[in-house]
Amino acid sequence: MPRDARYDILFEPIRIGPVTAKNRFFQVPHCNGMGHARPQGHAAMRGIKAEGGWAVVSTEEVEIHPSSDVAPYVEGRLWDDLDIPALALMTQAIHRHGALAAVELVHAGMNASNLYSREVPMAPSPIANPASYVPIQARGMGKSDIRDFRRWHRSAALRARRAGFDIVYVYAGHSLSLPMHFLQSRYNQRTDEYGGSLVNRVRLLRELIEDTKDAVGGDCAVALRFAVEEHLGTEGIQHDGEARDIVEMLAELPDLWDVNVSDWANDSKTSRFAQEGYQEDFIRFVKTVTTKPVVGVGRFTSPDTMVSQIRRGVLDFIGAARPSIADPFLPRKIEAGDADDIRECIGCNICVSGDYTMTPIRCTQNPTMGEEWRKGWHPENVPPRTGDDTFLIVGAGPTGLECARLLGRRGYTVHIAEALESLGGRVTQESALPGLAAWARVRDYRVNQLKRMHNVEILRGSRVTGNDIIEFGAKRVVLATGARWRKDGVGRANTRPITGFDMGSVLTPEDVIEGRTCKGPVVVFDDDHYYLGAVLAEKLQCAGTSTILVTPGDKVSAWTVNTLEQPAIHRRLVELGVQVILNQNVVAFDGSRVALACVYTGQESALPAASIVTVTSRLPNDALYEDLSGRPDALAAAGIVSVTSIGDCLAPGTIAAAVYAGHRYAREFALEHGDEVAFRRELPTIG
């Protein structure tokens, strides 16, 4: 299909200093849990982005010196020449597809705990790292430290050029870098020419940009990533205050402005807390101050929104981290007139959890993310079918839909039977909850693809039995029947059913989602620790039921630290008037009171409650598997060669894990790994 002419503007080349980007799609820096430790995986992932049409593909934070060691987090490194080959792999992979490679040089200052290098952290003034409880403080930098830092930065820029980068970033963003700490009056309490007035606080940033231009500016563009708003009122940098003054002071100095909001949680806001384009109000002034090209972000997945950003003079480049993760081929799809095929980011931040857990990046929408090298998975090219296998998939939730999509793309004949009339399983259910509407994109993308496949049949309203499956006679049976929440309270804190949880006034999450009402006060017992407990508390409270969230965790939705949402979730509950009780286990319920036990002391107390919603753990819907696996002769007689249980019905997990399970089956069902590791590994060199 030819490209929609409305989108032509997105494909205009744009000059950035001495280099030219072939279009306006700019993959801004994003970490990925591979970094310096898994350079081949990292290079392959960035290469796919370039192949997908991004004009600029950036690294993540790249540490410039051992005193900027953010271990245990795995970012890029350019400490010395030994780090050049790993990054050269990446620039080669990017250049192969005609894109520009950008490197984000970072000195994290006090945010680098230097746990690996054991260097002493540095800051404008002596201070403890506000972002962690690591019991090490940063020392205030003397003049010679500033000279050292400038030299390290310059050397790293020279190394970056040798590694093949076309754009070199100076980074003053996210409150995670020394140049930004110098800008922030709350961290910079110096009395010399680098502290006090704004002109003084900007001095180091100006010098770094000048140094970088002087070192590599003839060949490489020099970009500045700058956070124009911290959402801290007068305590922080404000877009209509000092940020504007700073942009005015440095307006024409960098070759490109990459502007966003800080901190990282404000920048990478999830769909639960912000809509597409949420940064516009804060960044739009920048283009009125500088003539240099401006890149900005805001979970852009709609080409119409992108065009609007450019036509209205907000941005020159469409910056994207998450949209490029969910769909590395987003630009190519728009270019080819296939915008309907874009796999839109759902804004869940599972990708961020890779960084937080120091493991290769993963994505709910794009199961190939992070697997490009180690499994050889490509997001668009799939191996064609190798035999005449036919498939019956039972269950059209995220696992079943993805499995059907990929098997269908491979050319197999697929039937997918869903008990309900609606498709999507848990994502359809959960997307009806407050703030989770975008999660329906997991279903919509796949159903949209399946509708066009003549080799895939969707059977709605088909609740099948073991006998039905045997009679159907597909060669391979895939069970993707999902899971259900337990009602008995068994989870992490309680390994045995909780006394009183068999009463009618105890509800499961499904009950609440299906609209069952309950009397208040209601206790939401969250022993799951991800998003659902707090989302249900929000729903109930908003419906006028007085709600108390009780958790054995030391935080509300404790795991959402890994998706950058935890503080926002707690804040929202407090603002809605939900009472929050931490560090307490629920041990009994008598219909009018809940017995709580302190997780540290075991001391019990009573809490008045008329009903309970129990969000503890799930049970796999494995009855079909139990039935079929006990009848090998009947299966063989029907010509069924395999019955495989995948996704939540094997072991309940995240939606990302469910999609991955469906994808993996569709690629690997015929592979025999035996005892071998199922993916390639990058091993340390000995010697």
Q: Which residues are catalytic?
A: 31, 171, 174, 267
Cβ burial, residue 252 (10 Å; 0-12/13-18/19+): exposed
Cis peptide before 72 (omega within 30 of 0): yes
- The residue from 320, 401, 414, 524 that contacts ligand FMN (CB under 6 A) is 320
With H, G, I as helix, E, B as strand and everything else as coil, classify residue 535.
helix
Least Å distance between CB 7 and ligand FMN? 18
Could you tell me which of 266, 324, 277, 250 has the C-alpha nearest to residue 29? 324
Beta carbon nearer to ligand SF4, 46 or 322: 322
Cβ-based neighbour number of residue 439 at 10 Å? 26
Number of residues that bind ligand SF4 (CB under 6 A): 13
Burial group, residue 626, by CB count within 10 angstroms (0-12, 13-18, 19+) = exposed
Peptide bond into 526 cis (omega under 30): no
Q: Which is nearer to ligand SF4, 367 or 408 (CB)?
A: 367
> Binding residue for ligand SF4 (CB under 6 A) from 46, 153, 239, 322?
322
**Burial (CB count within 10 angstroms: exposed 0-12, middle 13-18, buried 19+), residue 406:** buried
Between 322 and 441, CB nearer to ligand FMN:
322
Structure-token pair, residue 531: 């998003």
Nearest to 90 by CA among 80, 79, 78: 78
Whether the Cβ atoms of residue 356 and residue 558 lie closer than 8 Å to each other: no
For the bound state, the minimum distance from the C-beta of residue 62 to ligand FMN, rounded and expressed in Å, comes to: 8
Angle between helix axes 398-410 and 441-451 (nearest 10 degrees) is 30
* 103 scored as a contact of ligand FMN (CB under 6 A): no
- Regarding 322 and contact with ligand FMN (CB under 6 A), the answer is yes
**Binds ligand SF4 (CB under 6 A): choice among 78, 318, 348, 586:** 348
Region near ligand SF4 per CB under 6 A, out of 200-208, 286-294, 363-371, 576-584: 363-371
Pick the binder of ligand FMN from 35, 37, 45, 61 (CB under 6 A). 61
Using the rule CB under 6 A, is 45 a contact of ligand FMN?
A: no
CB 575 within 8 A of CB 542: no
Tokens of 207: 């010098």
- Residue 369: closest CA among 326, 403, 333: 326
Q: Does 227 bind ligand FMN (CB under 6 A)?
A: no
173 binds ligand FMN (CB under 6 A): yes
Q: Is 345 in the site for ligand SF4 (CB under 6 A)?
A: yes
Please work out the total of residues on this chain that contact ligand FMN, with binding judged by CB under 6 A. Answer: 23
177 binds ligand FMN (CB under 6 A): no
Among 53, 298, 331, 533, binds ligand FMN (CB under 6 A): 298
The DSSP output letter for 610 is S
Residue 23 binds to ligand SF4 (criterion: CB under 6 A): no
Angstrom distance (rounded) from CA 252 to CA 293: 10
Interacting partner of 29 out of ligand SF4, ligand FMN, none (Cβ under 5 to 8 A depending on kind): ligand FMN
Q: How far is CA 101 from CA 90, 275, 432, in A?
A: 8, 29, 40
Residue from 77, 272, 299, 426 that binds ligand FMN (CB under 6 A)? 299
Given the complex with ligand FMN, which of 28 and 110 has the nearer CB atom? 28
328 interacts with ligand SF4 by CB under 6 A: no
Residues engaged in binding ligand FMN (CB under 6 A): 28-31, 60-61, 104, 173-174, 225, 260, 267-268, 297-299, 320-323, 351-352, 355
Name the site residues for ligand SF4 (rule: CB under 6 A): 322, 325-326, 345-351, 363-365
